[in-house]
Amino acid sequence: MRLDGLRIMSWRSGPGAARRCAAATTAYALLAFGGSPLAAAEDGSAGQRAEPATEVWLGAEAFRRAWSLYSGADIAIQGAIREDGLRLRVVGGYGQYDHACRNFDPVTLEPFLAPCRGDVSFFDVLAGYRWQYGAWTFKALAGVTAKAAVKTTHDGAGTEKDWEVGGKAVLESWLNVSERLWLALDASFSTLDTNPGLRARVGYRVLPGLSLGLDASASALIEDAVAPSGDRHRYGLRAGPMVRYEWQGGEASLTAGLASSIDAADRATARTGASHYPFVSASVLMRY
C-alpha cells in the first residue's frame, strides 16, 4: 500500500527541462503516483500477531524511452509489520530517460532542440503510523525527499545538474471488501515541483494466493515561471491490468498497460499537448 515506486515519465522539453523530467520521473514511482513499490496486502485480521517486523521490496519500471529501478524497506518500530504502530520507511532509486531537450546557442543565444539523456536518483526517509479501523487499514507517513538529476546532450557538449531537497507526505489505505475482493487507495504529495499523486487498485482473488485486477494512477506536476501565464501544468495518467501473487512471506506484482502525459503549458494561449506510450511495472516484496 505505498506510492513510493510510482513514476510519471514525460518527454516534452523547455527551459529547466532537467528539473521537470527529473521531477516527473521521481513522481511516477514514485504517484505513485512510487517509490513505491506495489503494496503489501494488509490481509491479516486486526490484532493477529505476525512475526515479521520488516518489509523489503525491489521494483522496476520501463516506458517507451525510460526505465527505473527502486528499492526500499518498511520497519515496524514496535510490534510486527501487520500490527498497529510506528513505522519507518526508507526508499531509493535510479532511472534514465532519453528525449529532445531545449538548449541555447552560446553565441546567438537562439534556442534549439538536441537529443539528450537524463539520469535521476531519488531518496526518501519517512516516518509515520499504521492503524486498523474496522475492515480498513491505513498508513500515514511524512518526511524528507531528495532528488538529483543530470541532463547531458548526446554529443557531450552540454550538461545540466540539479539537486533538490523537500518534504513528502503519503497516505495509504487497504480494504478487504470480502474474502476475495480487495481495494487499495493511495495518495502522496511532494513539495518538489508541487507534485500530488493518486493511485487506485482493485483486485479479485481467483485463487487463495492469486489476484487479478486493475491498477490506475494520476499525477500532476506544477511548475512556476516557465510559461507566459506564469506556470505550467503537466498531468500523467496510466492504467493497466494487474497480476499479484502472495504467499506467507511476501508477494510479487506485475502491471502492464498504457501511460499518457498531458502538457498544459500555457493557459494564456490554451496550448496543450499529449503523448501516449506503453509501460510495464514489476515488484517483489519480502517480509522478515
Please write the tens of the pLDDT for every residue from 3-19: 444 443 333 333 343 44
Cβ–Cβ contacts within 10 Å for residue 208, how many? 10
Fold of the domain spanning 17-287:
Porin (2.40.160)
* pLDDT greater than 70 at residue 100: no
C-alpha cell at position 269: 494561449
H or E segment at 189?
strand 181-190
Distance of CA 72 to the CA centre of its chain: 13
Contacts of 12 (CB under 8 A, 6+ apart): 20, 99, 234, 261, 263, 265, 273, 275
> pLDDT class for 37, splitting at 50, 70, 90?
very low
Residue 258 C-beta-side C-alpha neighbours within 13 Å: 4
Collapse the DSSP code of 37 into the 3-class scheme (helix H, G, I; strand E, B; otherwise coil) and give the result. coil
Which residue would you say has higher pLDDT here, 122 or 157? 122
* pLDDT greater than 70 at residue 273: no
Best-predicted range by mean pLDDT among 33-37, 56-60, 264-268?
Answer: 56-60
Domain ranges of the chain: 17-287
**Cβ distance 173 to 142 under 8 Å?**
no
Indicate the pTM of the whole model. Answer: 0.76
* pLDDT greater than 80 at residue 159: no
